[in-house]
Amino acid sequence: MNLLTLVLGIPLAGFLILLVLPKENYELIRRIALLVSVTAFFLSLGLVSPVWQAAPGDYALEVDAPWITTLRIHYHAGIDGISLWLVLLSTFLTPVCVLISWRSIASKVKGFFAFLLLLEFGLIGVFVSLDLFLFYVFWEVSLVPMYFLIGVWGHERRIYAAVKFFLYTMVGSLLMLVGIIWLYNRTGTFDLPAILGMISDGRLNLTHAEQIPLFLAFFLAFAIKVPIFPLHTWLPDAHVEAPSAGSVMLASVMLKMGTYGLVRFCLPLFPLASRACAPWIITLAIIGIIYGALVAMVQPNMKKLVAYSSVSHLGFVVLGVFSFTQIGMDGAVYQMLNHGVSTGALFVLVGYMYDRRHSLEIADYGGVATVAPWLSTAFMITMLASIGLPTLNNFIGEYLVLQGAAQENFTWAVFAAIGVILSACYMLWLYQRVFFGDTPEAVASHMSDLRIREMAAMVPLIVLMVWMGMASQTFLPSIGASTAAVIERTEAVKEIRVESGASLLAKVKEIWHAR
């Protein structure tokens, strides 16, 4: 069996196994979920070598088998330097989520871990799909378990948050489906490499008038998932109400479905529209960077603070993608991974604190360092990684994005750098209020230091933060080989790039009248 198919199939097999187990046997359910997720992770490590050995721009371990022959839908999957690391991020974080939920999830345990494995299956599928319809199926599959993880195992306002998350994502998904169907009617295939080949050799020549609505159909689906300002309002509610594992998977991996979609689909399929809309999108990204940081600074709730920090950090990813520079694109993809590790670790630690104190309000804490020194140390390292301290992971990604942005427009880099400064402000202030100062009686009596199982989940995350900060060349060469192919597909249309909102509006009017 193809290794990529095996990695994809293991979480699905685990999901099916859990469905037939007796729901009362909590320990067996937890152990099988852990075994399945750890097995998937170690097998996914075998994906690295084939990607490193593949020719630049090619897919490794590609498999193409007919699925629904009447509609020419195939199970077509493959992996390259962009999707590889997102698959590894998914398989790495799933066992972490199993460990942090070992005791905190005490009701409907079977359903929780089954949905967690189904979510992993959907996420891996999104990152390896090379058939547009297959991609859409996995996109929707990942939506369902996250809806239930929030709606069933979330906090007090979980139903509201789950429905809001579902509706936002579904609206974007339907727009993307319309775009996929239009492309199929025009090309007769859902196969992504085949469609890109048609564009390259001139058999598919999409005009400006065709590209802009198609680009927007895909872009809005991905922008909601990132989320890009002002489509972000579902995210804070989802994070605050989700269980810890749900927050980790949502922030670390699910949001990357949006940024991955921008790189994999929007830019290569619609290069004219991508270039034309770039100034508008970069403007929204920079607003999101600064707005997310400013709102995070005044949040009284720890989860909501981290949620708004994600809006800010992922603005850097969008900025790097639409800078259309090699270094900016490399930094954007690397920052997807960095954010997944550091923000995932923040949600793990906030979850540990909630399990002890049963509060997410910053005002309910203080002096935690005196009663939980290991927890405080882990939080400090994660916080420093999040603000981009050199030698830790976020620094490399942010630096590459800023350098790429500066190559195109120095003003973009200046405004984006404000977000880096604000990030240090709100994270350091959070740490000062929670871990220093007087220790309230409620904190002293409820807080305890990290347990062995909690350390087992946290230590690999910290090691990865240091590794990604000190040895980025483990990741960047394979990322660069794949992003170079994306950049190459957009280079041919450089001359149509629109430099201002006014000129973009004029271009849209011209296209409309030309119809």
3-38 pLDDT, tens digit each: 999 999 999 999 999 999 988 888 999 999 999 999
Residue 142 reports pLDDT greater than 70: yes
Q: What is the rounded distance in angstroms from the CA atom of residue 250 to the CA atom of residue 232?
A: 13
Is 124 within 8 Å of 254 (Cβ atoms)? no
Res 369: pLDDT: 87
Average pLDDT over residues 404-432: 92
Radius of gyration of the chain from its Cα atoms, rounded to whole angstroms:
22
Res 504: pLDDT: 46
Average pLDDT over residues 145-155: 92
According to DSSP H, which parts of 263-322 are helical? 267-269, 271-297, 302-321
- The answer to which of 67-71, 88-92, 393-397 has the lowest mean pLDDT is 67-71
- Confidence category of residue 56, pLDDT binned at 50, 70, 90: confident
Res 492: pLDDT: 59
Res 305: pLDDT: 94
Is 272 within 8 Å of 206 (Cβ atoms)? yes
Determine what percent of the chain falls in helix, strand and coil, rounding each to the nearest 5: 80, 5, 20
Is 11 within 8 Å of 30 (Cβ atoms)? no
Strand, helix or coil for residue 476? helix
pLDDT tens profile 481-515:
999 988 888 875 554 444 434 444 455 455 445 54
Residue 54: which region, alpha, beta or left (left: phi > 0; alpha: psi -120 to 50)? beta
- The answer to which of 168-182, 383-397, 401-415, 480-494 has the lowest mean pLDDT is 480-494
Res 405: pLDDT: 92
pLDDT tens profile 107-140:
899 999 999 999 999 999 999 999 999 999 999 9
Residue 96 reports pLDDT greater than 80: yes
Q: What is the mean pLDDT of the chain?
A: 89
- The answer to which of 331-340, 457-466, 481-490 has the lowest mean pLDDT is 481-490
pLDDT tens profile 264-293:
999 999 998 998 899 999 999 999 999 999
Q: Are strands 73-79 and 60-68 parallel, antiparallel or unpaired?
A: antiparallel
Residues 6+ apart with CB under 8 A from 1: none
- Locate 18 and state its tokens: 């859990």
Q: What is the rounded distance in angstroms from the CA atom of residue 434 to the CA atom of residue 436?
A: 6
Q: How far apart are the first and last CA of the chain?
A: 50
Residue 468 reports pLDDT greater than 90: yes
- Locate 381 and state its tokens: 């390292």
- Flag whether the pTM goes above 0.85: yes
| Burial (CB count within 10 angstroms: exposed 0-12, middle 13-18, buried 19+), residue 64 | middle
